[in-house]
Structure 1
Amino acid sequence: MTNLIQPMLAPAALDLGDEGFPLAVARLLGSKTPKTLYCQGNLALLGKPAVGFCGSRKASEKGLRVAADCATQLAQSGIVVVSGYAAGVDYAAHKAAFEAGGSTILVLPEGIEHFRIRKTLVQDWDWDRALVISQFPPSAGWKTYRAMERNTLIIALSRAMIVIEAGATGGTLHAGESTLKMGLPLYVVEYGDMANEAPGNAVLIAKGGIRVRKNPQLGVANVEAIRQAASKPLVVSSMQSASLPLAFAT
């Protein structure tokens, strides 16, 4: 039995220059801007404040709880959650956003014809609060370089990024570094045994990432600074990283 369900919504093509094409993507990526974005769902989400989530497919249980906590709080504040569609952090962030009554954007590393709704998301799925997006031809299959380009789009669709758990090497670490090079705010989770679970987090904090810690009084992550960053208009001071590919998230 399959764990995926065919969506009953036809995709739409959004071309660069069309009304509704996310201007922030063009401003951040410059000549690397995708000429067409293939979308299913609520296109209005592209114009709302959004925060991207990045982390491992094999994140620890603590990391998954933190991802869900942050996504829940941001979604309840009206901020759109943006991430890939992999297991681990991506899935935890999307599911938490749905359960909180918020909205989420799922960015694919393949053509949109391959998209299926996971059965574990069906109960909470709402096309008015969801947007599936791909920059690749509709029938394009999964390739490593497409996953790399997909990560760039996640960053460009967001006004700030959160790294949940980054390894000493790999795609999550690279995505965090690329966020900093693009000049976007990078927030990095910090907790007690981080050195064992996520050694790359300390590296990103040392390079300019902003710590995200638990509020001891409330027992949840302190995301107020992230809310404020997501609510500010995007200001692009440089496109120096527009040609830098991101490593495939691991």
Structure 2
Amino acid sequence: MWSSISYGCYVNEIKLKSDKLNTQNNLYNENTQAVLLLSTFFSKPKKGEARPLTAIEYGRFARWLHEFNYTPSSLFHQFDEVLSKWKDPKGKITADRLSEILGRKAAMGLALEKWQRAGVWVITRQDSVYPQLLKKQLRYISPPVFFGVGNKGLLQQGGLAVIGSRGIDEIDEEFTKNIAIQAAKENINIVSGAAQGVDETAMLSSLSAGGTAIGIMADSLLKAATASKWRKYLQSKKLVLISSFYPEAGFSVGNAMARNKYIYTTASSALVVRADEGKGGTWAGAKENNENNWVPLFVNRRSNASGNIALLAHGAYSFELQKTSEAWLAEVLSKVPAPESNNSPSNSLNLFE
């Protein structure tokens, strides 16, 4: 039997935990909370539990909600009404699944508190700081949520996506460094994936030369938030790291492939340093960009890599280092007009979509 004192302490402890969770959740409005619950893992997924909606599933559901004058937060107050009308054509987004993933408020509160202590913030498609170039291009398949650390303002600047293999030789490394340093001199933002190889070389070279960078990560954002190689640039507001996957997600080939499109569409132009034809994320991302006409694609013509040769043969723009002027990089990039995207531009894309 518990004494009245022990029981009272237990009740107070539970109340304090509850108040803490409520305070944490209240940092975000109801709509942001609903989007997080619908689309985000808060820990490593367990066997048999309902999975949050994928970006494609969320896009399909959010578009329907908007068409019927609902928002994601309507599910907190009008769940039965909404689900009486909703019929998923794919049969994947069911009432049972939605009920289970929306019931994770306690888990969400604990996770948000942990992530916030490391400086991780959350933005959704309704927020003005969400990458607008990406949203314009990807529209309904834009990630519902980005987690991030660093300077959110960089997300609207576009820039040059520098992309390439993890395994690079000294020639590729030197080429990447030279491009990144020139970009820094011309105040051109570097956009990349923060992975070893070309990505990390481009970002760190630009940052060490006084430039800025956006790193779009497929995993381990929480670790990166406190990593020594990034810390001083995050503190000086020269860098932002974002991920559409929950901050503690481990590496996954599927996630790495999925984030390729976010690198291209956050940038204004893209440069492939090295690619192997028919394999790897660099090749897949470049091919996906060309199929969707997101941004002009440049390729390092000095590389004899099979992917570089194939991309040039399929219409990518030849690129090499120049010294024609102080601002030669901007001049090269500006000579190629932005392609006509397969998604017609729209200024009326609803913030909740």
Which TM-score band applies after superposition, normalised by the shorter structure? 0.7 to 0.9
Matches within 5 A, 1:90-109: 90-109=199-218
Determine which structure has the larger helix proportion and give its number.
Answer: 2
Question: For the residues of structure 2 that align with 1:169 and 1:53, how far apart are their CA atoms?
Answer: 19
- In the alignment, which residue of structure 1 is the partner of 2:58? none
Q: What is the match of residue 69 of structure 1?
A: 178
* Gap regions ≥5 residues in structure 1: 1-6, 241-250
Asked if residue 59 in structure 1 is aligned to residue 168 in structure 2, the reply is yes
| SS state at 1:214 partner | coil
Matched residue SS, 1:215: coil
Aligned CA-pair RMSD: 2.9
Could you say if the C-alpha distance between residues 75 and 146 of structure 1 is closer, same or farther in structure 2, counting changes exceeding 3 Å? same
TM-score (norm 2): 0.58
Q: Which residue of 2 aligns with 1:186?
A: 297
Matched with 1:247 is: none
Q: Give the match for residue 311 of structure 2.
A: 204
- 1:172 is the counterpart of 2:282: yes
Instruction: Name whichever structure is richer in strand by fraction.
Output: 1
Contact 1:38 1:136 in 2 (8 A): yes
CA distances 1:70-114 after superposition (whole Å, capped 9, x unpaired): 111112211110111211101110111111101011111125323
Q: Paired residue for 1:43?
A: 152
Per-residue deviation, 1:134: 0.5
Verify the 8 A CA contact 1:111 1:135 in the aligned structure 2.
Answer: no
Q: Assess if the C-alpha contact under 8 Å between 1:104 and 1:130 holds in 2.
A: yes
**Are the counterparts in 2 of residues 27 and 236 from structure 1 also a CA contact under 8 Å?**
no
The runs of 5 or more residues in structure 2 that have no matched partner are 1-115, 345-353
**Structure 1 equivalent of residue 67 of structure 2:** none
Structure 1 residues 224 and 48: alpha-carbon distance in aligned structure 2, compared to 1, 3 A threshold: closer
Residue of structure 2 equivalent to 1:161: 270
The residue correspondences of 1:64-143 to structure 2 (distance < 5 A) are 64-110=173-219, 112-116=221-225, 118-120=227-229, 126-143=235-252
Alpha-carbon shift at residue 60 of structure 1 (Å) = 1.5
What is the CA–CA distance in structure 2 between the aligned matches of 1:199 and 1:235, rounded to whole Å? 25
- Cα distance, 1:61 vs. partner? 0.9
Q: Is the 8 A contact 2:137 2:341 kept in 1?
A: no
Q: 1:117 to 1:89 in 2, by over 3 A?
A: farther
Match of 1:238 in 2: 342
Counterpart CA distance in 2 for 1:104 and 1:111 is 18
- C-alpha separation in 2, matches of 1:209 and 1:98: 27
Deviation at 1:119, TM superposition (A): 4.1
Residues 125 and 45 (structure 1 numbering): CA distance in 2 closer, same or farther, change over 3 Å?
closer
- What CA distance in whole angstroms lies between the structure 2 residues aligned with 1:125 and 1:18? 21
Secondary structure of the residue that 2:178 maps to in structure 1? helix
Please identify the structure whose Cα radius of gyration is greater. Answer: 2
Distance 1:141 1:120, change over 3 A: closer
Q: How many aligned residue pairs are there? A: 228
Change (3 A) 1:57 1:111: closer
Percent identity between the two aligned chains: 23
1:229 positional shift: 6.5
Look up the equivalent residue of 2:286 and give its one-letter code. Answer: G
Structure 2 residue identity aligned to 1:210:
Y
Segments ≥4 residues shifted beyond 6 Å: none
- Cα distance in 1 for residues equivalent to 2:192 and 2:159: 10
Determine which of 124, 131, 135 is the counterpart of 1:26.
Answer: 135
Q: Comparing both chains, which one has the higher relative contact order based on Cα–Cα distances under 8 Å and sequence gaps of 6 or more?
A: 1
Residues 1:228 and 2:334 are matched in the alignment: yes
Instruction: Sort the Cα spacing of 1:15 and 1:226 in 2 relative to 1 into closer, same or farther, 3 A.
Output: farther
| Structure 2 partner of 1:213 | 320
- Amino acid corresponding to residue 128 of structure 1 in structure 2: K
